[in-house]
Amino acid sequence: MSRKSKGINAERELIHLFWKNGWACTRVAGSGASRYPTPDIVAGNKKRFLAIECKSGKGPYQYIGLMEIGNLKKFSEIFGAEAWIGVRFNNMEWNFFRPEEMAVTKNNLMVKTDTVGKKFSELIS
């Protein structure tokens, strides 16, 4: 399975989690290739709107480019959504982070496998 299809499958898994919990959710196809700032997923439940940039992989680290973060923040501000980073390492649960909570490297934000974020149930509560 390619890295791209693995990422798409992880996004679809997250979409199903939202729908199972009473949230509307959709994947933004081509989110990384659009000339406009777009997140991977948008979700809402009448009270809250979330814009989520998703990362998945084996680990032990996941990096999110500062340009991706800037686009996520810009979209979220215009749309009126909360900006979140969703990270899923192999055989682990999703963890969610506000961009300002993540460690900054030279050109990226970084999450390690042992970094604790909000679990899905905490994110939607």
Q: List active site positions.
A: 31
**Residues in a beta bridge with 52:** 41, 84
- Straight-line distance from the first to the last Cα atom of the chain, in angstroms, rounded to the nearest whole number: 34
Strands, sheet with 41-44, edge to edge from the N-terminal-most edge strand: 24-27, 41-44, 49-57, 82-89, 95-97
Q: How far apart are CA 38 and CA 76, in angstroms?
A: 9
